[in-house]
Amino acid sequence: MLYCPQCGNNVKEDELFCVSCGNKLPEDKNQRYPAKKSLNKFWYLPIATFIVLTVASSLFYLFLQHQSTQAKELYEQGEQKLINEEIDQAEALFQKALKQKQNFSQAHIGLAFIDRAKEIQIAIKQAESNLEQGKFQEALSLITNAENKLTNYNGSVVNNLVDELISLQNQVKISQLLFNLEQNPSISELKSLLWEADSINEVEAEEITENIRGQIIEFAYSQASEQLSNNHFNDAQAIVQDGLKYAPSSDKLLSLQTTIEKEKVSFEITQQQRIEQALNTAEEEREFNENDAIELIDIHMEEDDQGNLVIKGEVKSIATVPLQSVLIDYSLIKNEESELLSNEVYVYPDTLYPEEIGKFEFTHYDAPEIKDAELIVNKMTWYTSY
């Protein structure tokens, strides 16, 4: 089949002119279809180019996907090494992941974290060294700076590091606290140390806290009792209230507070009112309850951890009515005649019901030598409820 080179329509072999366009046809029949042949020939080039580019793009995409997959696997392996605290192996895996994928942001973050972790490990060792040398503030400063370096990171590995830093920080604080307690601090200093001890979340710190709180309670009780014995009710109340700031649930101080309040009221009540109250009860029962209603079970002395003299004892109510504000008057004598000290202490709870047992305790600071001394009860007084 021949074609007109002008319009491309079919022509016959023996025709000299194209029937469609009237163009004179070349005498050489091979030249009657150069445009048609040329048109068909160049259609293959763009198609082939498109196919080659498509295949190349697909292969390149698959190559990138393979690299991303390998980089992700290496990163996950490195992450697991970090969890196992194998820092050097984790660092090598993160670096391999970056070779597979240079813009892998997670691997960059992982390497940056490893640098921080190494810095923190160095800080921990230095803080431990400072702790051994008694340089508590230097150690705490290093730990605080290390904690600040982890501000922008999170995850289980970070949590483990933070826990390690907090544990070391608590060790330093406890060591510093014990050192300060060895310096025989005053009561005001003990109050400050109590807050420090209470802020440390460790079992050992809890024991120290209770020990300090006990010293504050005993001091407040002794001072308030002394003021109460002199009828200085407001001063006694102020001392107890200050002690309750540091030991709000202390039964001993709460009981003393109640005693002070009742003693103050009793002090203001006239003798006539007490006589009128007593007359409402039968004479025999009244006399028994007022004179023989308390039985002394035990009284003894011992030393506390600070070497202070502690007087302890128990009494029992054998009255028929509740007894209030039971007061024990005792003395410490030597050679049956020389009185070393004397004191009065209230029994707690403040109100003793029939057959109920009450306790008393008093700490003497700067007490005299008690060797061969005898502890005796001079008298016991109380108020009856009718």
Percentage of the chain with pLDDT > 70?
A: 70
Judge whether residue 35 has pLDDT over 50: no
Q: Which residues pair with 362 in a beta bridge?
A: 311
Shortest CA distance to 101 belongs to which of 82, 80, 75? 75
Burial class (CB in 10 A: 0-12, 13-18, 19+), 121: middle
CB 262 within 8 A of CB 325: yes
pLDDT tens digits, residue range 50-59? 566 665 555 5
Residue 258 is predicted with a pLDDT of 94
How far, in Å, CA of 26 to CA of 11, rounded? 11
Confidence of residue 327 (pLDDT cuts 50, 70, 90): very high
With vertex at residue 119, the alpha carbon angle to CA 117 and CA 120, rounded to the nearest 5 degrees, is: 65
Arithmetic mean of pLDDT, 130-142? 89
Residue 372 one-letter amino acid: D
How far, in Å, CA of 283 to CA of 275, rounded? 12
Residue 165 is predicted with a pLDDT of 87
pLDDT tens digits, residue range 279-313? 666 678 888 888 899 999 999 999 888 888 999 99
Q: According to CATH, what is the number of the domain 280-384? A: 2.70.50.60
Residue 61 is predicted with a pLDDT of 45
**Average pLDDT, whole number, for the chain?**
80
Q: According to CATH, what is the number of the domain 47-177? A: 1.25.40
pLDDT tens digits, residue range 328-352? 999 999 887 788 899 999 999 999 9
Q: What DSSP assignment string belongs to 288-303? A: HHHHS-EEEEEEEEEE
Confidence of residue 270 (pLDDT cuts 50, 70, 90): low
Residue appearing with tokens 């209770």 = 210
With vertex at residue 164, the alpha carbon angle to CA 162 and CA 168, rounded to the nearest 5 degrees, is: 115
Judge whether residue 90 has pLDDT over 50: yes
How far, in Å, CA of 58 to CA of 66, rounded? 12
pLDDT tens digits, residue range 157-198? 778 888 888 888 998 899 988 888 888 888 888 888 888 888
Of 31-35, 140-144, 303-307, where does mean pLDDT reach its minimum? 31-35
CB 303 within 8 A of CB 310: yes
Please, how many CA atoms are within 13 Å of residue 252, restricted to the half-sphere of its CB? 21
Judge whether residue 156 has pLDDT over 70: yes
Radius of gyration of the chain (CA): 49
Residue 87 is predicted with a pLDDT of 63
How far, in Å, CA of 224 to CA of 345, rounded? 11
| Candidate ranges 92-106, 134-148, 183-197, 242-256; pick with highest mean pLDDT | 242-256
Domain ranges within the chain, ordered by starting residue: 2-42, 47-177, 193-253, 280-384
Percentage of the chain with pLDDT > 90?
A: 27
How far, in Å, CA of 358 to CA of 347, rounded? 6
How far, in Å, CA of 338 to CA of 368, rounded? 12
Residue 306 one-letter amino acid: Q
